[in-house]
Amino acid sequence: MANIYKNAKVDLTTTDVTTLYSCPSNSRAIIKSILVCNDSADVSTITVTITDSTTAVFVLFNTNSISPGITSELLNNPLVIQESEILKVTAGNSNRLHVTTSILEINRTDQNG
């Protein structure tokens, strides 16, 4: 079993749903942090979802407001992402938000269950 520390980053240049992180099919991940920086002079919003292996979408944060010039931490506690789940983000406005997440990816190849 291997533990891999990594981050994922995205500059939300559109208002399209954007993949922030995809958990590999042989791993689980613990998301420690989701930082959102609004580098514009205007308020924007962000929506964060998890898509599971059946393509069902679960909303974690729905149009969460991010003030101008501010970096916000969205998580109060770690978030577990299971095999093949996808963490996605959507900006309310293009070219305002940068998102960074800190991840501990746990490869389950050598582990049962």
Domain ranges of the chain: 3-107
**pLDDT band for position 108 (cuts 50, 70, 90):** confident
| pLDDT-above-90 percentage for the chain | 91
Q: Is residue 35 classed exposed, middle or buried when 0-12, 13-18 and 19+ CB atoms within 10 A define those classes?
A: middle
Predicted confidence at residue 109, as pLDDT, reads 79
- Average pLDDT over the chain reads 95
3-107: CATH, from 2.60.40.3880, 2.40.30.10, 2.60.120.340, 3.30.470.20: 2.60.120.340
Q: What is the pLDDT confidence band of residue 87, given thresholds at 50, 70 and 90?
A: very high
Between these two residues, 54 and 8, which has the higher pLDDT value?
Answer: 8
More confident residue, 22 or 54: 22
- What distance in Å separates the CA atoms of residue 63 and residue 46, rounded to the nearest whole number? 5
Question: Please, which pLDDT band fits residue 110 given cuts at 50, 70 and 90?
Answer: low
Mean pLDDT value of segment 55-77: 96
Longest distance between any two alpha carbons in the chain, whole Å: 50
Tokens of 83: 């095999």
Phi, psi (5° rounding) for residue 41? -95, 5
| Torsion sign, CA atoms 34, 40, 45, 46 | negative
